[in-house]
A = this chain, B = another copy of it.
Amino acid sequence: MIAILKPGASDAQIEKLSQWFENRGLQVHLSRGESHTIIGLIGDTTKIDTDLLMGLDMIESVKRISEPYKSANRKFHPEDTVVDVSGVKIGGGHFQIIAGPCSVETPEQISTVAAAVKASGATLLRGGAFKPRTSPYSFQGLQGEGIKLLEHAKEQTGLPIVTEIMDLHQLPLFENVDLIQVGARNMQNFELLKELGHLRKPILLKRGLANTLQELLMSAEYIMSGGNEQVILCERGIRTFETALRNTLDLSAVPMLHEMTHLPVVVDPSHATGIARMVKPMALAAAACGADGLMIEVHNDPSKALCDGPQSLTPEQFDDVARCVRAVRGAL
């Protein structure tokens, strides 16, 4: 970490500041220029708050050299993390498609969709039981009942199941869930993240609509610093000025995250675009730029879906997408 002092900082001030750093276990390296003095700090600076330093009168600016995330940082963990979801591996060359309906609605619906997506090559079954909805008047999901229906579909198909948790008090219901999803709106629900850090179960962490990649990794760090290192990151579109599609899918996040971290990165083209016919091109693009997996909404009858129908594929459309994704991956 480097701190640049304002012109005119006195020797006494600099001395005092240096001691403050040394008391925090850091080595201090001074470099006096014509107009500015620069302080280089050596040691573990993850606990130094740059905002706090910025508040000191004599400091003009602060720059981190090392990233504030450690467990998630590829520099300290060069090999890819492979997350094992009840036997299905993801990351480090293992590519998986997570598919299923936005919401679990009926036993027939989830069974039909589960069988269909398995036949087309999906290896994990998704389905929403607790649904974060902008409006209190919208369908909020089948909740505990939805998880039971998912468990039943898992018994039928053998597919491990993925579903979203919205609050830590729901945790007891997730005992048989194989991969717990943290939704975009909860990416910085730190109390929830801390609690998930105490589990020994894989977590699918979705990027918030207005969160940077570094913030996404800091949220992964919350989980990992609790001891749970099985984190899968998910890019699902960010909020920008463009309104032609629901969100802007930030695919450059995929190779960039692969540089920054060793964790697997999957892409959700369904939520990002909100339009079924955009799912295929964006799924192919995600596969082409190196994603470790895809998360795709499939519904046996999208026009009757209780939630997010317009972005769901039919099983036939999903089959086509899965086939083309394999072709792209085969070519690379």
Binding site for B on A (CB under 8 A): 2, 4, 27, 29, 31, 33-36, 38, 40, 42, 46-47, 49, 51-52, 54-57, 60-61, 63, 65-66, 68, 132-139, 166-170, 185-186, 188-192, 194, 208-210, 212-215, 218, 221-222, 225, 238-245, 248-256, 259-260, 272-274, 276-278, 281-282, 284-290, 302-303, 305-312, 324, 327-328, 330-332
Which residues of B sit under 8 angstroms from A274, Cβ to Cβ?
51
Closest B residue by C-beta to A189: B189
Task: Using CB atoms, name the residue of chain B closest to A237.
Answer: B252
Q: A254 touching B281 by the CB < 8 A rule?
A: yes
Q: Does A213 lie within 8 Å of B328, measured CB to CB?
A: no
Contact indicator B63/A63 (Cβ below 8 Å): yes
Question: 9 pairs across A/B with beta carbons < 8 Å?
Answer: A29-B33, A31-B38, A46-B137, A47-B137, A132-B188, A136-B190, A167-B189, A244-B260, A285-B288
Please, how many angstroms separate the alpha-carbon atoms of A22 and B252 in the complex?
37
Cβ B255 vs Cβ A282 within 8 A: yes
CB <8 Å contact, A328 and B332: yes
Q: What is the CB-to-nearest-CB distance from A291 to chain B, in angstroms, rounded to a whole number?
A: 9
By beta carbon, the residue of chain B nearest A45 is B137
Contact check, B309 vs A55: say whether CB atoms are below 8 A apart: yes
B-chain residues with CB within 8 Å of residue A307 when the two chains form the complex: 49, 51-52
- Flag if A245 contacts B238 (CB, 8 Å): no
Contact A51 B308 (CB under 8 A): yes
Known: A243-B243, A281-B255. A133 touches B309 (CB 8 A): no
| A241 and B212 alpha carbons, distance in the complex (Å) | 7
Q: In the complex, are the beta carbons of A324 and B328 less than 8 A apart?
A: no
On chain B, the residues within 8 Å of A256 by CB distance are: 244-245, 278
B254 touching A248 by the CB < 8 A rule?
no
- CB–CB B68/A135 < 8 A: yes
Q: A68-B137, A135-B218, A248-B250 are in contact. Are A212 and B40 (CB under 8 A)?
A: no
9 tightest CB-CB pairs across the interface, nearest first? A210-B210, A55-B309, A55-B310, A331-B331, A288-B288, A167-B191, A285-B285, A281-B289, A285-B289
Q: A284-B332, A290-B281 are in contact. Are A248 and B244 (CB under 8 A)?
A: no
* CA gap between A254 and B132 in the complex, in Å: 27
Contact (A288, B328) CB under 8 Å given A210-B209, A303-B57: yes
Determine the distance from Cα of A241 to Cα of B225 in the docked complex, in whole angstroms.
27
